[in-house]
Each structure stands twice: as C-alpha cells, then as structure tokens.
Amino acid sequence: MSPAELQSKTAHPVLAIENLVTEIRSVRGLIRPVDGVSMSFPAGKIVGVVGESGSGKSMTAFSIMQLFPTSAARVAGGRVLLGETDLIGRSPEQMRAIRGSRIGMIFQDPTSFLNPVLTIGRQIEQQLEAHRWTGGPPAGDRGQSYANRVSELLTSVGLPRDVSTRYPHQLSGGQCQRVGIASALACDPDLIIADEPTTALDVTIQAQILRLMMRLQRERAVALMLITHDLGVVAEVCDYVYVMYAGRIVEEGDVRSLFAAPQHPYTRALMSGVLSLTGTGNIGFAVPGSVPDLAAPPSGCRFHPRCPHAMPRCSQEAPPLFDRPSGRSACWLHDEATP
Amino acid sequence: MNGPVRDFWLQFRRNRLGMVGLALVLLLAAVALLAPVLAPVDPFRTSRQALLPPMSPGFLLGSDHLGRDVLSGVIWGSRVSLLVGLAAAATATFIGIVVGAVSGFFGGWVDELVMRVSELFQIIPRFVLALIVVSFFGSGLSNLILVIGILSWPQTARIVRSQFLRHRALPYVDSARVLGMKPLRIMFAEILPNVLAPVIVVASLDIAQAILMEASLGFFGLGDPNLRSWGGMLNTAQGFVQRAWWMSVFPGIGISLAVLGFNLLGDGINEATDPRLREG
Amino acid sequence: MPNRGDKTLGRFALGRLVNSIPLVLGVIVVNFLLVSFAPGDPVTALIGDFPAPPEYVERVREQFGLDQPVHERLVRYVVNVARGDLGFSFANRLPVLDLVLERLGRTLVLMIVTVTFATTVGVALGVMAARKPHSAADAAATGIALAGYSIPVFWLGQILVIVFAVWLGLFPAGGMRSVRVTYTGLAALLDRARHMVLPMFALSFRYIAITTRLTRSSLLEVMNSDYILAARARGISERRVLWEHGLRAAALPIITVIGYSFAFIVAGSALVETVFGWPGVGRLMYDSIFTRDYPVMLGILLVVSLSVIVVNLLTDIAYALFDPRVRY
C-alpha cells in the first residue's frame, strides 16, 4: 500500500488524535509525557506505536481513554476524535460509557489486570452490564443473555466455557491475556488499544496471542493500536507505524516502506539494533544514552544529544514532520534549507 | 547537630501532627518534672471540703470524696504515667532487641522457638495476664514496670528479627564476617544501627501502650498504692460518676493527651524515617 | 462457590485446627507456670484466698500432685484442664468452668454487637476517607482514629455515663436490664438494647479507629492497583469499582484484623463491663481480683485465650472463603 492509498483510507479513521498534550504534575515540576502527538487509526488496520519505555507511547493510549494510572495526569490540549466527536471535555459519565464499549483496552501484565477475588465470568459480565450490552447491531441477537455472551467471547479467544467460573490465579498468563482480549472485544468496539500485550508472556505464548489478536481483528474489521517496543512484531503484523521519542512522534509511515528505508536517525538506530539482534549485520550504530528526563527535556530536537548527525540547528529548533516517500519524519536532515 | 540527626529533624519538622505529639510529650515531661512546684498542695492531703466542684476556692479542678485536690492529683499523676511508660517501654525494647537480633541472626530452632512464643503472646490477652501477675506479685511501681515491659516485647522482637533476616544476607555483613568479626559485634555494632529507626518508632508507640496499660491496671485497683496515678484516680471516680464528674474528667484528659502525644510522636518519626512514605 | 467443594474447605479447617494444638498446649503451660511461680503456697493459686474447707485443700494438693516433681505436676495439670476441671470458686460457690462459661455468653453478646457496629461505622468512615484523600472527611476520619487509639475505654465509658445517663438521662448508667420493672417480649428486648447502647459505644470506639485506619489504607492501596485501572478501562462505574472491586479486595486485611483484634477487645470489655456493671467475664475478673479468687482469674485467662484461638481459626476460614487464592 502506498502512502497515498493509506492517506485516503485514513481520511475517515475510527479514531484520530490531533496535537495531543498530556501533563503530569510531579514533585519535580510539570512534565509532558505526550507533547503534541497526532495519530489516526483506520478501521480494519493495525497501527503500531513503538519507542523505548518512557517515550510516551503508553501515556498516549491512556490519554485517548482519559484514564490514567495516576491522578496527577491530565490531558492538557489537543483533540481525540472518535468518529466526528471530540472526546476531550466530555463528562466523566460519557467517557465511562465509551471505555470498554467503543474503545477496548488490553494491558501488558494480564494477571495483574484481573481482579483476583472475582471470577472471570463476573468481570466480563460486569462490563456487559455497564454498557447495557444488547447484542449490538444488527438487532437480531438482542436479548441474548450476558452469560451466553461471555461463553461466546471465551470460545472465540480459544478458552473453554467453564473458564468463566474460575478465578484469575487458576489461569496461566497466556489464558489471562486471552481473557483480556475477550474483554476488549466484549462490546464490539471500534478501536482496541493493546499496550504491549505480549511482553509479559512466555516467548512461545507470545506468537499464539499475537496470531489470535490478528485473526480477531481481521474478522471484525476493528482498528487496533498496538503499542510495543518490539520492531519485529511491528514488521510482522502492523500496517502503519508511529515511532515515538520523548513524548513526540519522530517518524511515521507505512510499515513496509518505513522498514525498507527508515528516515529518522533514531528509527535507523532502532533498526540497526534489530539487525544486530538477529545477527545479520551490524552497521556500527547504537543508541547510546537513554531517554531524556522529561522534567527537563533537551531543547530543539529531543534526540539531538544522542544523535550522530546532530547539527547546531538541532539543539535550537524542534524539527516539524517532513513528508518523505515512506511517510513523515521529524529531522532537520530532510530540510532542503539545511546546509 | 550532625548529618543524619539534622536530616531527620528537617523531615520531622514538616509533619504537623508529629510536632503536636512532640509538644504534648514535652508538656507532659515538664509537668512531671515540675510537679512539686506546680501542684498547689500535697495530692494526698485530705480535707473536710469533700466533692467540691471545679473553680471552688483553693480547688481549681474540684476535690474528691476525701477532700483531696484533683488538680494536684492530676499533676502528680503525670509522674507515674511518664515513669511507667518510659521504663516499661525501655524494658520491652531491650528484651525485644536482644530476642529479635538473636532470632533473626542465628535463625534455626532458636528462631522457631521465638516465633512460637511471640505467637502465644499475641493470643493470650495481655491485659488479663497482667492483671493476674500483678495481683500475684503486688502492684508496686517496679512490678508494674517489669510486668508491662515483659509483656510488650514481641512487636519489637518481630521487627528486629525481620530486619536482621534481611540484613544478614547483605554484602556488608558478609565482609564483616570475612574480616573475622565476632557475631555479637556484627549484630550490635554493624547491623543494629541500621535497624534503629523502626525500633524507635515501636518504642514510642510502646510508651503510649504502657501508659494505657498502667492506667487500666490502676483503674482495676492495681496501681501503686503509695502513688497518686491517673488510673487510680479514675478507679476512685467510678464510685462517684453520678455525683462528681470532675473526678473522672480531668485524670482522663491527662491519660488521653499523654497517650496521644506518644502515638503522634511515633507516627511522626515513622513518616520522617520511612523512605517509602517520604517519597509519596 | 465455584470449583471449590466443602470437602477441601473442611480439610483446610482441619489443617488449621491441627496447627493450633501447640498453641492450646502453650496457653495451658502458661497457666501452669503462673500457678507454679505464684508467691507462697501454690495451693493458694488453685483455691484462692476465700476460706476453703481443709479437706478440699488436701484434695487439691493430691489432685494436682503438688508434692511431686515439676513434670509430674504439669501432666496432672494438663489432664485436669482437659477434663474441664478448672477448680471451684468458693466466693461464687460454683465450679470455675461453669461460672466462666455463663459469664462468657453475656460478654460475647456485647462483643458481637460491638464488632458489628464498629465494623460498619469503621468501614464507612474508611471508605469516605479513602475516596477523597486529604479532604475534610479524610481529616475527620484521621481524627477519630487518633482519638480511638488514645482515649482509654474505661474513661470514655465514665464520660458516656456522665453525659448520657446522669446529665441527659437518655440511657441507663449500667446493668444489663432494668431491675425494678419486669418487661416481657419485645419490651424486654428493647430494655436490654437500651442498656447495651452506652457500653457498646465505649467499647466500639477503639475498634472503629482500627477499622477506619485500616479500611482507608487498604482501600487506597487497592484503588491504585492495576486491576482497578483495568475495571475503569472496561467502563465499570465508579460506584461499582469502589464497592465491588475495591472494597472486596480491601476486605481481606479488614477481616484479618477484625478477627485478630479479638484478644484486644477482650481487655476492653473487661474494663467496660466494670464501668457499666455488665455481668460478663470482665466484671467477674474485676470482682475476683478483690476476693483474690485465683482459680477464677486463671480460669478466665485460659477460657479467653482458648476462645481467641477459636476466633483466629474462624477468621482464617472466613479469609479463605473470601479469597480464592488461598490454597487448601
């Protein structure tokens, strides 16, 4: 798929975020883990979001849900468009009605995200009750009982029905993640956010879970936001990818072209890491240092202190996203005006 | 002030409730020390002016059924509470440290035995046991201190034990061993200073508990008969609740403030020394 | 309960029961030590100061083998206790076991009502405080908790009598029921309830403090956990997140503390019963101190310690019922 083709598909994404800014009040001052991020999620597509931990990829997901692990965080600017409506500024009750029904979420550690003292069935039933689930459109299935829906969901993720009467500690990590997927799908959402869904699992289980997610996503033509730090996974399953660094998008594009010709020095650094991991060649490029301190981010391009191509301009001015054949990339190297 | 103490003080000072606790404790200490100066009369001096209400001439807080001054009693009573509280908590802390250190450092059957005994102490109601022992052996001041102290060690022991279990596996203890230090020296010179903070916290709360326990024994008529104590005053007051509220009210305020003071002080020290709490 | 038969729960309970046998023996040994180390003639500790017939004194000496070596005395003591023979109270003219058990029933009534009331109030206050940390409600809950930890129960009892019985005349100052009028049926029940209000309040206060503090901290911790975030992400309403997810998980430490504070509340009830003349085990203890009725005092210690073991056992079973993770 060419960028132009994809562009036409993303013209009407199920969900888009524009210039999203999220702030956290901390003892060290106000920090912005998400700083002017725009993304869009078309129906039936898998969109990857990659970056090191602390790059703001998970916070972007929480900002979409307007639900944060800490009460010190809040969305400070930008828009989150679900269809035509902006979710920012909606009442808590309106947001509650959207979470778990229009947008489903899958978490990293499946065992800690299930309540240990409630049965699996009870936890999913609660969700159906919370959204007064009626079988969704078309109206044919209306009146189907919640219990039936729970067994149907469990079957669809490859679990036996009687899992509904069990407690989380009686299931394996992989089984718990299947429950997580079932819950994300429970109310036929438009978008599923999966935050590193396989990181906490055994390597052998990872592939199974990934395949299951892909199959269900394709069958239901739902948009999937896949947050990961595994470029291999991105290459394997995603249609489109955003690369984040220190709260900003540094590069985005169609997966095949981006992997063929990464534009941003940071992306290239990440790719070389992948190459060296697989042993097919090391171009002698590393990403030394670590993600910058968000309480005092570097000036200009946030990557410049670690960038081998850094120029004086990079520390003075933040680069915009330049159009590239593969997508867009935020680096002054792409600017014709750069000497 | 040197480094760690200064750091601690800077942390502690920011805790308002902790400072209130410190103030109450200092007030208690001042009243106890200055009792002979502060008290208008001998707390045992009887008079014919029995059951006078507060604000009566010569009896600011009223008088009891024998015409004794309630105010003087409350002032002298602070001595008993503070003395028993401090001495009993010191006894408990000493036993707790020794037992906990031995148990945590050596482990094995010693540890097993100590844990079983401290479990037993959790089951047997301390107050009932104290009542029996004191009524067997008499309720003199030193008996009260010993009994309360001996019944209060398990909490300190458990904390010291768990800290020792953790610390004995740490590199600095290993290197002390390699250097040929004797176990006793390692335990008390190397490990103990590192586990002192929680011990001090528990000691402060132990003082509060000991004051309550002494007052409760006193209320049951098992206080030192030769001393005027708050618990003992409330024991007398029990017979006069219908007629002389002041006999109850003032000694009780004394107990409550003293216990509150040490509780707040303990919580304050805890918050100033526990790194987990300090961050949040 | 799904996937969990009564058989496994029964086995769990049995296992815990077996585990508590050493504690039961320990309690008996402590009692024995008290008898052995009591100053003066050990027979005093077994009979009390109340004048007893010399034949009885001789019989006790024989029965407990007081002229035998220590291990022989210990065995005899354990055997006697196991047969339910805790001696005879000459002050009350009743076998000690009968006397203590009769009084224990009345104490339990007071305790059960107190624990129910205090748990309800404490959990409610704790939830209020945890819902909005650092709010006025939180400050109030903290204040109540601090007062509860610091005010002696017997003094609180006296103050309640002074204010509500003497000054306001709302409730009786003591006793378990009115003695001048005889009520029947519902009126009798109401009369007893009226007598219970003040002692229950006095006894509840510290317990409310404990549950409030614990509910607050436990709920705050649970509400910050991953599965609460996940429940919110599923669109579960805040009310349900709090009551069904939060409190259910927070309930576990609360159950434990309620059960394990039983030993604590026994001491409290001894004091409160004395203030209010409630004819329970605590009042019996107070009276026995004055009559130097040692067998009764030791009997109370034994019976009460054993009931603590039983209550702890029940607590563990309740915990297991509540928490599916406990393995039997």
Interchain proximity B133–C34, CB inside 8 Å: yes
Nearest residue to B92 (alpha-carbon basis) of B134, B142, B145, B150: B150
Nearest residue to C195 (alpha-carbon basis) of C219, C172, C224: C172
User: Would C74 be classed as within a structural domain?
Assistant: no
Of the ranges A137-146, B29-38, B225-234, which one carries the lowest mean pLDDT score? A137-146
Interchain proximity C158–B127, CB inside 8 Å: no
Identify all chain B residues contacting C300, using CB atoms and an 8 Å cutoff: 128
User: Would C23 be classed as within a structural domain?
Assistant: no
Cα-based distances in Å from A251 to A263, A290, C192: 7, 18, 78
User: Would B94 be classed as within a structural domain?
Assistant: yes
Q: Which of C275, C285, C309 is opposite residue B123, by nearest beta carbon?
A: C309
Contact B81, B230 (CB under 8 A): yes
What is the rounded CA–CA span in Å between residue C160 and residue C143? 19
- Residue A243 main-chain phi, psi, to 5 deg: -105, 125
Edge-to-edge strand ranges of the sheet holding A29-41: A29-41, A15-26, A73-82, A85-86
Interchain proximity A65–C3, CB inside 8 Å: no
Cα-based distances in Å from A104 to A190, A194, B126, C127: 8, 8, 55, 29
What is the rounded CA–CA span in Å between residue A283 and residue A143? 61
What is the rounded CA–CA span in Å between residue C327 and residue C223? 25
What is the rounded CA–CA span in Å between residue C29 and residue C78? 8
Interchain proximity C234–A169, CB inside 8 Å: no
- Residue A171 main-chain phi, psi, to 5 deg: -110, 160
Nearest residue to A264 (alpha-carbon basis) of A335, A318, A333: A333
Residue A144, pLDDT above cutoff 80: no
| pLDDT at residue A288, rounded to an integer | 52
DSSP B56: B
Residue A177 at interface with chain C, using a CB cutoff of 8 Å: no
| pLDDT at residue A1, rounded to an integer | 47
Closest residue in C to B131 (Cα–Cα): C289
pLDDT in tens, A96-110: 999 999 999 999 888
User: Would C246 be classed as within a structural domain?
Assistant: yes
Nearest-CA distance B186 → chain C (Å): 33
The CATH number that applies at residue C323 is: 1.10.3720.10
Output the CA angle A163-A164-A167, nearest 5 degrees: 75
| pLDDT at residue A135, rounded to an integer | 64
Return the residue in A93, A102, A115 with the most chain C beta carbons within 10 A, the one to mutate for interface testing.
A115
Closest residue in C to A124 (Cα–Cα): C234
Nearest-CA distance C59 → chain A (Å): 58
Enter the ipTM: 0.92
What is the rounded CA–CA span in Å between residue A300 and residue C314? 65
Instruction: Taking residues C53-69, report their average pLDDT.
Output: 83
Output the CA angle C6-C11-C15, nearest 5 degrees: 145
Interchain proximity B241–C289, CB inside 8 Å: no
| pLDDT at residue C123, rounded to an integer | 93
Identify all chain B residues contacting C301, using CB atoms and an 8 Å cutoff: 124-125, 128-129, 132
What is the rounded CA–CA span in Å between residue B132 and residue C304? 13
| pLDDT at residue B2, rounded to an integer | 67
Identify all chain A residues contacting C236, using CB atoms and an 8 Å cutoff: 96, 100, 126-127, 130
Banded pLDDT at A140 (limits 50, 70, 90): very low
Contact C141, C128 (CB under 8 A): yes
Identify all chain C residues contacting B24, using CB atoms and an 8 Å cutoff: none
- Residue A249 main-chain phi, psi, to 5 deg: -85, 125
Mean pLDDT of chain C: 88
User: Would B226 be classed as within a structural domain?
Assistant: yes
Interchain proximity B119–C23, CB inside 8 Å: yes
Banded pLDDT at A8 (limits 50, 70, 90): very low
Measured in whole angstroms, the distance separating CA A112 from the mean position of its chain's CA atoms is: 19
| pLDDT at residue A338, rounded to an integer | 62
DSSP B59: B
Return the residue in B128, B143, B207 with the most chain C beta carbons within 10 A, the one to mutate for interface testing.
B128
Encoded tokens for C212: 């409030």
Residue C232 at interface with chain A, using a CB cutoff of 8 Å: yes
Only one residue has tokens 């920090």, namely A31
Measured in whole angstroms, the distance separating CA A23 from the mean position of its chain's CA atoms is: 18
Q: Which of B117, B135, B248 is opposite residue C162, by nearest beta carbon?
A: B248
pLDDT in tens, A170-203: 999 999 999 999 999 999 999 999 999 988 888 8
Nearest-CA distance C251 → chain A (Å): 10
Q: Which of C150, C154, C267 is opposite residue B128, by nearest beta carbon?
A: C267
Count H helices, E strands: chain A? 10, 12
Per the structure, the count of domains in chain C is 1
Interchain proximity C248–A118, CB inside 8 Å: yes
What is the rounded CA–CA span in Å between residue B144 and residue B232? 13
Closest residue in B to C149 (Cα–Cα): B260
User: Would C172 be classed as within a structural domain?
Assistant: yes
- Which of the two residues, A192 and C291, has the higher pLDDT score? A192
Interchain proximity B133–C290, CB inside 8 Å: no
Residue C117's CB: how many other CB atoms inside 10 A?
18
Nearest residue to A329 (alpha-carbon basis) of A279, A257, A281, A278: A257
Amino acid at C67: D
What is the rounded CA–CA span in Å between residue B187 and residue A146? 62
Interchain proximity A114–C234, CB inside 8 Å: no
User: Would C34 be classed as within a structural domain?
Assistant: no
Residue B128, pLDDT above cutoff 90: yes
Interchain proximity C263–B122, CB inside 8 Å: yes
| pLDDT at residue B276, rounded to an integer | 59
Interchain proximity C263–B219, CB inside 8 Å: no
Q: What is the DSSP string of A57-126?
A: HHHHHHHHHT--SSTTEEEEEEEEEETTEE-TT--HHHHHHHBTTTEEEE-S-TTTTS-TTS-HHHHHHH
Host domain of residue B108: 34-260
Residue A89's CB: how many other CB atoms inside 10 A?
11
Q: Which of C2, C233, C322 is opposite residue A99, by nearest beta carbon?
A: C233
Of the ranges A300-309, B239-248, C25-34, which one carries the lowest mean pLDDT score? A300-309
| pLDDT at residue A203, rounded to an integer | 85
User: Would B52 be classed as within a structural domain?
Assistant: yes
Q: Which of C39, C155, C159 is opposite residue B136, by nearest beta carbon?
A: C39
Residue C51's CB: how many other CB atoms inside 10 A?
8
Per the structure, the count of domains in chain B is 1
Show which of residues 305-324 on chain C sit within 8 Å of chain A, judged by CB atoms: 322-324
Nearest residue to C81 (alpha-carbon basis) of C67, C66, C64, C99: C64
Show which of residues 293-322 on chain C sit within 8 Å of chain B, judged by CB atoms: 294, 297-298, 300-301, 304-305, 308-309, 312
pLDDT in tens, C190-247: 998 999 999 999 999 999 999 999 999 999 989 989 999 999 999 999 999 998 898 8
Q: Which of A67, A109, A116 is opposite residue C232, by nearest beta carbon?
A: A67
Interchain proximity B125–C161, CB inside 8 Å: no
Banded pLDDT at A145 (limits 50, 70, 90): confident
Banded pLDDT at C179 (limits 50, 70, 90): confident
pLDDT in tens, A236-291: 999 999 999 889 999 999 999 999 999 998 888 888 763 332 233 333 344 455 56
Interchain proximity C22–B245, CB inside 8 Å: no
| pLDDT at residue B127, rounded to an integer | 93
Residue B256, pLDDT above cutoff 90: yes
Host domain of residue C229: 97-327
Nearest residue to C124 (alpha-carbon basis) of C149, C144, C148: C144
Residue C263, pLDDT above cutoff 50: yes
Interchain proximity A131–C235, CB inside 8 Å: yes
What is the rounded CA–CA span in Å between residue A91 and residue C238? 13
Domains identified in chain A and CATH numbers: 3-245 (3.40.50.300), 263-339 (no CATH)
What is the rounded CA–CA span in Å between residue C106 and residue B59? 42
Residue C308, pLDDT above cutoff 70: yes
| pLDDT at residue C327, rounded to an integer | 59
Residue C281 at interface with chain B, using a CB cutoff of 8 Å: no
Of the ranges A274-283, B29-38, B194-203, which one carries the lowest mean pLDDT score? A274-283
Interchain proximity B221–C173, CB inside 8 Å: no
Banded pLDDT at C91 (limits 50, 70, 90): confident
The CATH number that applies at residue B90 is: 1.10.3720.10
What is the rounded CA–CA span in Å between residue A69 and residue A109? 14
Interchain proximity B136–C154, CB inside 8 Å: no
Q: Compute the CA torsion angle A187, A192, A197, A198 (nearest 10 deg).
A: 100
Per-residue burial over B111-129, b if 16 or more Cβ lie within 10 Å, else e, is beebeebbebbbbbbbbbb
Banded pLDDT at C70 (limits 50, 70, 90): confident
Nearest-CA distance C294 → chain B (Å): 8
Chains that touch B (3 or more CB pairs under 8 A): C
Encoded tokens for A30: 């106000």
Contact C301, B124 (CB under 8 A): yes
Q: Please, which residues have CB within 8 angstroms of residue A186's CB and are 6 or more apart in sequence? A: A100, A104, A124, A127, A128, A133, A149, A153, C234
Encoded tokens for A109: 């550690």
pLDDT in tens, A290-322: 567 777 888 889 988 888 888 899 989 899 999
Output the CA angle C76-C81-C85, nearest 5 degrees: 105
User: Would C52 be classed as within a structural domain?
Assistant: no
Q: Which helix (H) or strand (E) holds C133?
A: none
Show which of residues 43-72 on chain A sit within 8 Å of chain C, judged by CB atoms: 65, 67, 69
Encoded tokens for C45: 């500790």
User: Would B76 be classed as within a structural domain?
Assistant: yes
pLDDT in tens, A55-92: 889 999 999 999 998 888 999 999 999 988 999 989 99
Chains that touch C (3 or more CB pairs under 8 A): A, B
Mean pLDDT of chain B: 91
